[in-house]
Amino acid sequence: MSSGVRSRSPSLEDNDRKKFRTRLLNIDSNLGDSEVEKLKFLCQDFISYRKLEKACSASDIFEDLMTKDLLNEKDPFLLVELLYIMKQNSLLKHLNYTKEQVKALLPTQKKVSPYRNLLYELSEDIDSESLKKMIFLLKESLPKVETPTSLSFLAHLEKQAKIHVDDLTLLEDLCKNVLPHLVRKIEKYKREKEAEQKEKELLSASDINQIRQALPFLFPQHEGTCQDMPARSNVTLVSTAMLGLSGCSLTSETSTKDGTVYRMNRKHRGYCVVINNQNFTSLLKREGTNKDAECLKHVFQWLGFNVDIRNDVTKECLEEVLQKYQSHPDHANGDCFVFCVLTHGKFGAIYSSDDALIPIQEIMSHFTAQQCPGLVNKPKLFFIQACQGKEIQSSVLIEADAINPELILPSLEDSIPNEADFLLGLSTVPGYVSFRHRREGSWYIQSLYNHLKDLVPRGEDILSILTAVNNDVGRRGPKKQIPQPVFTLRKKVIFPVPQQELPERVSTDP
């Protein structure tokens, strides 16, 4: 009996998928070349340029969206939204939606960014004559542009970095000269974006000054640190001053008030992605990293996350992973997002398995409010096990994850987006190596594993836990290492206490 039930379930699922693909094929047959071009433009934030250029039909685009798990029979809303934006309301019936239903659901379920929506709306109002005038005005700076449509014109401006989500000056000037009535749409977008940004600001200058007075040891008074932070980026640097302060956390009077802890009671905890690079094209093999990856998998599954481990990730594969999770529909129902990187590195950047150097800031920028609306107002935690400086001579079983040291270091504040709800946990302070045992894994990840295991059941928040990690790693020797969190969190991140237990404590002695 039970085996019969199991045998029917896959068939039912296969049947549902087949029906869904049939519906997509019916939609494809009703979309012409111009609609395919519109789909390509609207999907630029979800699918890479390279794949979009290869797409010859709507079905090709649907296939790419399904591959990234952005479109499936259980959740077709992204395509529903795209058809609605394109005013293809008659096709919504194939997905069992009406125009009125979509309009009601968009405020909470929309996936296409306001920026992409704006450009599409503008393109609809730029007729062929106006387009010729705009091209004429830009002939000096874009002499080789070929733009048969308004969409391809705007796409070309994006590709040439003439316009982007934070700078529409050029487009605004063009509209002022050719289509003045469109300026209002741009101004409306800028106002809404500014209002949204203000809502997400971490702390006001007065808030930071209060913390500075209460915890002066967190704000070293020298150039390039927190001294000028309020005027720069509202980023809090937690540095080596934490060493030996394992009980320290931001516990001012306001910490006991309601609303100072991030919500952790949605449908699921969220996703934890682990980039685990052991083998490289020409760089040294990182023995011991698989121990780290397994520990991260165990502890974050224990905390309720869906863990996705990717091994030996190339630059291209990393971009695909980032795109997938940037647009993942399940973020809307999740509490948090975690992204871990185990690899070689140097200050402010990490290496892919094919030896490409990728800035940490570039990785984190995929999850800003603009790029990833599903994670707005939710904590986004990044943990990087990689060197941030020069190699040093080490003993037989201790290695350094450092490549090509830099003598002039940029500001660490530039590593994370200038908006709220981010935490970047670096395994070492700028300019120094990060140690990894060839059998037992890295000092930092093993300490993080053990302290999450020990302190989450005690109700400790993530910053207190990372402080304890600092204290633990900083006491090791004879060679020294001290981790460094950088964060723009507005509230405490406190994980609910899991009911089950983790395996015995992992040994981290070199």
For residue 44, the Cα-to-chain-centroid distance in whole angstroms is 16
Locate all alpha helices (DSSP H) within 201-281, ordered by sequence: 205-214, 229-232
Mode of pairing for the β-strands spanning 435-437 and 441-442: antiparallel
- Measured CA to CA, the distance from residue 246 to residue 253 in angstroms comes to 20
Tokens read off for 207: 């808030």
Cβ-proximal residues to 97 (8 Å cutoff; 6+ apart), any chain:
80
The question of whether 344 is a catalytic residue gets the answer yes
Which residue among the candidates 336, 387, 437, 451 is catalytic per the annotation? 387
164 DSSP β-pair partners: 167
- Measured CA to CA, the distance from residue 382 to residue 350 in angstroms comes to 13
Which residue among the candidates 344, 366, 437, 451 is catalytic per the annotation? 344
- Measured CA to CA, the distance from residue 419 to residue 337 in angstroms comes to 16
398 DSSP β-pair partners: 437
**Long-range contacts: 468-477, Cβ < 8 Å, 24+?**
468/246, 469/444, 470/240, 470/242, 470/243, 470/246, 471/242, 471/243, 471/244, 471/245, 471/246, 472/246, 472/447, 473/443, 473/444, 473/447, 474/240, 474/243, 474/244, 476/435, 476/443, 476/510
- Measured CA to CA, the distance from residue 78 to residue 27 in angstroms comes to 14
CB 312 within 8 A of CB 321: no
- Considering only CA atoms, which of 262, 224, 308 is closest in space to residue 462? 262
The question of whether 372 is a catalytic residue gets the answer no
> Phi and psi of 203, rounded to 5°?
-145, 145
- Active-site residue list: 344, 387
